[in-house]
A and B are shown apart, each in its own frame.
Chain A
Amino acid sequence: DAGVIQSPRHEVTEMGQEVTLRCKPISGHNSLFWYRQTMMRGLELLIYFNNNVPIDDSGMPEDRFSAKMPNASFSTLKIQPSEPRDSAVYFCASTSPPLYGYTFGSGTRLTVV
């Protein structure tokens, strides 16, 4: 398995633009998580899905953020409009039973200028 695949690896965009981050989880994993990592706040959970259904989006900072999982092999995180304070590394992770470790993608480094 190629692991969790995220794209793009890097994204530089201007304030106000729409940004879409993509994630392909490991085949067979039924839970998918979106985290954001900054030096100040560490890894913060934004939203997670079980069997493609959003379970908890309380970590999504504002209505500007939205996430979808249309099928078991694809998820997106969208920011519209983007702001400089959204600059961070965004990680997608997937897993199966809860005691298994999470497998993380390599992340998307987002810079909003």
Chain B
Amino acid sequence: TQLLEQSPQFLSIQEGENLTVYCNSSSVFSSLQWYRQEPGEGPVLLVTVVTGGEVKKLKRLTFQFGDARKDSSLHITAAQPGDTGLYLCAGVKSGNTPLVFGKGTRLSVIA
């Protein structure tokens, strides 16, 4: 059983469209992170959210942590081909426990 469920698994959209991907769990997390991974490389951190209800923006990317700290979403406005990649959410349950990763959403933005 996957602790963090990400949806959709795959998403293919046209350049300029908006999209939202989701990360859900039945467990509470003390913090949650989003990473982007490109082919042949390791994941790279995009953002960390720690407070329930927190919203963070990174240019065209908006990240939200659910009020109950069990879920998160990533919204991309006006997607570009450079946004193509695997988006992974990862959570810390408590203290210094290691990150647990979801399986990711594989995004393809077509020019």
Q: Is the Cβ of A93 less than 8 Å from the Cβ of B42?
A: yes
A101, CB-defined interface residue at 8 Å: yes
Within 8 A of A (CB), among B65-100: 88, 92, 95-96, 98-100
Give the number of residues in B that approach A within 8 Å (Cβ atoms).
Answer: 23
A91-B42, A93-B42, A107-B42 known; A102 vs B104 contact (CB < 8 Å): no
- For the complex, what is the distance from the CA of A91 to the CA of B44, rounded to whole Å? 12
Q: Which residue of A lies closest to B33 (CB)?
A: A101
Q: Chain B's nearest CB lies how many Å from the CB of A69?
A: 15
Interface hub of A4, A33, A98 (most chain B Cβ within 10 A): A98
- Complex interface: chain B residues within 8 A of A91 (CB): 42-43
Q: Write out, one digit per residue, whether chain B residues 8-48 have a CB within 8 A of any chain A CB (1) or not (0).
A: 00000000000000000000000101010000111111001
Indicate which residue in B33, B99, B101 contacts A42 across the interface (CB closer than 8 Å): B101
Q: Measured between C-beta atoms, what is the minimum distance from B40 to chain A in Å?
A: 7
Dominant secondary structure at the B interface: loop
Decide: A98 and B42 in contact? CB cutoff 8 A.
no
Q: Taking the nearest CB of chain A, how far is it from the CB of B31, in angstroms? A: 6
A48 touches B42 (CB 8 A): no
Contact at A33–B41, with CB atoms within 8 Å?
A: no
Distance in angstroms between the alpha carbons of A45 and B101 in the assembled complex: 9
A53-105 CB contacts (< 8 Å) to partner B: 56, 91, 93, 98-105
